[in-house]
Amino acid sequence: MNRSTLLIVLAFFSIYVFWGSTYLWNKMAVSELPPFLLASIRFTSAGTLIFIIAKTFGFSLRITKKQLGNSVLAGFLFLAYGNGVFVWALKYVDTSFAALLAALQPLFILVLMRTVQRKSLQPKSVIGVLLGLSGMCILVSQNEITTKEGALTGIIMILTCILSWSIASLFVAKADLPQNFFVSTGYQMLAAGIILGFASFAFNEVWASPLNWSSSAYISLTCLILFGSIAAFTSFNFLLKNMSTEKVATSSYVNPVIAMLLGWYFLEERITTQSIIAAAVMLTGVYFINSRQRDKNEIKPFPKSR
């Protein structure tokens, strides 16, 4: 195996396994740390490390006022709301359930492109949308979920997070941002970290001393920063430049499976037959959406920084 092939294999492993594992790491960490504080530490640390790496490799960190404003808005939509609130919702729903809902993002983007940008839907896209909606109905109609305290609130907030990610994807595709994608993400993560820090104060979260954190909290947070935020994103960016978009988008199919298996193994989460059926229907819909013929000007999928 030559060096190029090895890098591609490692990159796919990163976006498949690391991104799929973030649901487990977030669930483990949020059981001990306040959700907004957790997300703030994660993105502030990741953004700072990205800037250090960027300077080490000689990348310019200069940015215009407009680019800064756009970075802050993108950071809010993608990470502060899209991820911060998602982490908060994990207090009420299982990781496998949350991962399956997150797989609906391609559907949300298609609907926004149709309603906002007035782009027509191809037959495969229509099939994908119908399957995705059907799978979501099957998934959220389970008695074990709907009767769980706080579950409905968690589901609704996760769906708003997916909408926020999707709006951000359309915005970032045309917004004036730093030309270097790595540097751009650093600004977005740092902006989100600061916003989430203020949110933590505003919602009166109880800040425990790091000296009192358990080893599992430290491990989970470290994995989120190094693997979930930096390694997986870098791999995603590398793959977009070296592989077809459709192949990179296969992470949408694999991440929920990884999340379900890890949640079942480490957190003893129950995987119901109805969830398996819903997963099959939803992921088939995602396949139809991603396998359609794409317009040459269509946006590429943007990492959700899970």
Helix (H/G/I), strand (E/B), else coil: 90: coil
Question: What is the model's pTM?
Answer: 0.84
The 10s digit of each residue's pLDDT in 115-133 is 887 777 788 888 888 888 8
End-to-end CA distance of the chain: 31
DSSP assignments along 198-231, one per residue: HHHHHTT-----GGG--HHHHHHHHHIIIIIIII
- The CA angle 274-271-304, to the nearest 5 degrees, is 95
Spatial separation of the C-alpha atoms in residues 28 and 219, rounded to whole Å: 10
The 10s digit of each residue's pLDDT in 67-98 is 999 999 999 998 999 999 999 999 898 888 88
Average pLDDT on 135-160 reads 83
Average pLDDT on 250-277 reads 86
* Mean pLDDT taken over the chain: 86
DSSP assignments along 268-303, one per residue: -----HHHHHHHHHHHHHHHHHHTSPPPTTPPPP--
Note the pLDDT of residue 147: 67
Block residue for tokens 């794409």: 294
Note the pLDDT of residue 303: 46
| Residue 101 near residue 136 (C-beta atoms within 8 A) | yes
pLDDT higher than 90, residue 192? yes
- The CA angle 22-20-288, to the nearest 5 degrees, is 140
In this prediction, residue 51 has a pLDDT band, given cuts at 50, 70 and 90, of very high
Dihedral of alpha carbons 280, 281, 286, 292, sign: positive
Note the pLDDT of residue 116: 82
- Say which residue, 271 or 22, is predicted with more confidence: 22
Helix (H/G/I), strand (E/B), else coil: 267: coil
| Residue 13 near residue 247 (C-beta atoms within 8 A) | no
| Residue 219 near residue 13 (C-beta atoms within 8 A) | no
Average pLDDT on 179-203 reads 92
pLDDT higher than 80, residue 248? no
Block residue for tokens 């491990």: 219
In this prediction, residue 295 has a pLDDT band, given cuts at 50, 70 and 90, of low
Note the pLDDT of residue 296: 47
Spatial separation of the C-alpha atoms in residues 306 and 39, rounded to whole Å: 10
pLDDT higher than 60, residue 301? no
Note the pLDDT of residue 246: 58
Note the pLDDT of residue 24: 94
